[in-house]
Structure 1
Amino acid sequence: LKNRLLSDSYSGGTKVNLEKNCVRFIDNFSMGTRGASSAEYFLKVDYAVIFLHREESLKPFSRSFPHIFDSLEVEGDRVVCNLPHIKEAIELKTRYKERILYIPFSTLQSYCFYLDEVGSVSFTTNTRDTECCPLDMSTPTHKIQSSGGELNLRLSLAPKAIDKIVNKIVPDAYVVSFKLETDESILIPKARGALEKYGHELVIGNVLQTRKVHVVLVEARSTENIDLTQASS
């Protein structure tokens, strides 16, 4: 992999445990679709990929087959799967397996730890970086008693990972972040605000209700709207 361009792809959401011996936790929803599909494209254009991903999130090439077990059939001594494009996906996964490193995380703490470790590897490498969806809140460690009546949580802001990525870990990288909003009117202003605050190159923005069919690419001085098709997603 020497002298090959490198993509650090961070995919999926993080969770914050509410107890040291965790029974309850706060999570944010992210299946990792954007991260997994981005990793596929980087592999196809000859990048090596470090894929830092949430445990059980979608992964490159297998992302389109999350319920594959339901499609298996037994024919004599063989197990058969007739899902469309499954053969192509397996061939691609096999072809690129030497160029992708999978690193799973679960909690915000494990994500931040691996973020530092990945950064130390890719610091001197030509890197294109995609940012995942870390949870913005962290909580102090405490034991929750169900008999204690009403539960009140005080949430503290967790440091934004992208600030550390841009300014400390890989300052020479081309960094792309994602911005999800529920109010379309604030999406572009918030994306531009992130670009100004953190100094990275691109924000891929979308609205919760239309996130699977429409995105907007936001740069410092331009925007581009993209409607996604079934083939491209």
Structure 2
Amino acid sequence: MSSASTQATAASVQEENAYFSSNPPPKALANHMTLAREFINHQAELKRRVVLITSGGTTVPLEKQTVRFIDNFSAGTRGATSAEYFLEAGYSVIFLHRQFSLLPYSRHYSHSTDCFLDFMYEDANGSVVANPEHQEKMIRVLRKYNSAKKNRMLLMIPFTTITDYLHELRGIAQLMRPLGPDGLLYLAAAVSDFFVPADRMSEHKIQSTDATDSLKQQGPTTIAPARQKTAEEPDETFDNFDSSPAIPRSKRLIIDLDPVPKFLKNLVDGWAPEGMIVSFKLETDPAILVHKAKYSLNRYQHHLVIGNLLTTRKWEVVFVAPGQEKDKWVRVPRDRRRKSMSGREGLVGAADKDWVRDAPMDPALLPEGEPEMEIESLIIPAVKEFHDQHVERVRAKTAAE
């Protein structure tokens, strides 16, 4: 290893230690690590492959006793759906998910626009049964879920904040090291890029007015009479439709965020050095999608980066991997599409013309609604092919040594 590489690694380890020592772990971390260790050891005894799937968004608390936080749109659809297809492919799954985000199998009902109670009714005997029109699907999903539980192939561990997520990810990845190349990390969570360090975080709820200033001046037992507002002072309002002059800076909430340290390379260098690592890159600009995916690949040295656009993520993704002559596009086939969004038959196949090119699809040509098939049913078999190749390479290298 060169001197520059050694220094970079040392700096990365120092940054990692500084972050984890100054940002406390979740209270349930020790219990979660015990569950993960037992689960991984069981799979290793049975020589099963294990995939760690991260899913859902991470919150960024603004207070230690959190009332306000920053969040993102992720509901965990990609992760929860992928978990089911990984299980079908024979993998055991550790599902590290945002608490209350979508879960494997139950997602078919919790993500429905109908209330889950609409899937059931009370029969003449007072028993709760599934409505006839839903019974076939419900029994199919239930059997898959029960099979995963019975065979101890699914472990679900929740997180909430960005700090929770990083503590859990590091701990589980390190526990997976004995699996060697049979371990797969599928990082589908929407991870926050910025956070408020613990030493700069307010202990209590951030106040939106100066109503408590008198308490700070006179002590906790005295409440001063309300101060009368002068004619020159603006109203205490945060109404975006208010026509009053600009809110004074003293009344604004200005948040100073630090970048979350980039630990993705640490997965390769130390946390799970022989496991295969798959990460995702979501963009909104099609012109930079492949470029950003390749940038992530080179920066973090992962084995596969899956790029996807916000508008077409359920229709196509692009696989960017080292040594590929061409990027691999995974797309829903034309016979699983629906009618053209415009309703004009002449445009029904228009989007397909884009699919044969090595470029993102035009979302304006997509059918209305969602595809008739889940793109994860295509992504996971393709990922498995990459994983097969990874396992062969690592084992060949080990044998040669």
If the length of structure 1 is used for normalisation, what is the TM-score?
Answer: 0.93
- By percentage of residues, which structure has more strand? 1
Moved over 6 A (4+): none
Alignment correspondent of 1:10: 54
**Residues 84-99 of structure 1: matches in 2 within 5 Å?**
85-97=137-149, 98-99=152-153
RMSD (Å), alpha carbons: 1.6
2:192 is paired with a residue of what secondary structure? coil
Give the aligned partner of residue 156 of structure 1: 258
**Match status 1:177 vs 2:264:** no
What amino acid sits opposite 2:127 in the alignment? R
Instruction: Look up the match of 1:80.
Output: 129
CA apart distance, 1:111: 0.8
Native 8 Å contact 2:314 2:374 kept in 1? no
Which range moves more in the overlay, 212-221 or 13-22?
Answer: 212-221
Unaligned runs of 5+ in 2: 1-42, 210-249, 333-370, 376-401
Shift of 1:211: 1.7
Q: Are 1:136 and 2:193 matched, yes or no?
A: yes
| Structure 1 position 157, deviation (Å) | 0.6
Question: What displacement does 1:100 show?
Answer: 1.0
1:210 is matched with 312
Q: CA deviation at 1:70?
A: 3.4
Matches of residues 1-233 of structure 1 in structure 2 within 5 Å?
Answer: 1=43, 2=45, 3-66=47-110, 67=112, 68-76=116-124, 77-82=126-131, 83=134, 85-97=137-149, 98-125=152-179, 126-131=182-187, 132-139=189-196, 140-142=200-202, 144-147=206-209, 149-220=251-322, 221=324, 222-228=326-332, 229-233=371-375
Question: 1:183–1:72: structure 2 CA closer, same or farther, 3 Å change rule?
Answer: same
Give, in angstroms, the shift of residue 69 of structure 1: 2.7
**How far apart are residue 184 of structure 1 and its match?**
0.8
SS of structure 1 residue aligned to 2:108: coil
Q: Sort the Cα spacing of 1:29 and 1:161 in 2 relative to 1 into closer, same or farther, 3 A.
A: farther
How many residues align? The count is 233
Structure 1 regions of 5+ residues with no counterpart? none
- The structural deviation recorded for 1:166 is 2.1
1:137-193 deviation digits (Å, cap 9, x = unpaired): 101412522015111111111023422222221111111111111111111000000
In structure 2, relative to structure 1, the CA distance for the partners of 1:185 and 1:123 (3 Å cut) is same
- SS of the aligned residue for 1:34 comes to helix
Equivalents in 2 of 1:46, 1:226: separation in Å? 21
Alpha-carbon offset, residue 81 of structure 1: 2.4
Bigger-Rg structure (1/2): 2
Structure showing the higher helix proportion among its residues: 2
Determine what percentage of the aligned residue pairs are the same residue.
Answer: 39
Distance 1:161 1:55, change over 3 A: farther
Deviation per residue, 1:108-137 (Å, 9 max, x gap): 111111112212321110211100221111
Q: Which residue identity is paired with 1:168?
A: G
Offset from partner CA, 1:49-107 (integer Å, 9 cap, x none): 11111111111122222142332222221223232511111100000111111100001
CA distance in 2, matches of 1:230, 1:163: 37
What is the distance in 1 between the residues matched to 2:81 and 2:266? Answer: 24
User: How far does residue 28 in structure 1 lie from its aligned partner after superposition?
Assistant: 1.5
TM-score (norm 2): 0.56
Which is bigger in relative contact order (C-alpha 8 A, separation at least 6)? 1
Which has the higher mean CA deviation after the structures are superposed, 211-220 or 191-200?
A: 211-220
Residue pair 2:195, 2:257 contacting (<8 A) in 1 also: yes
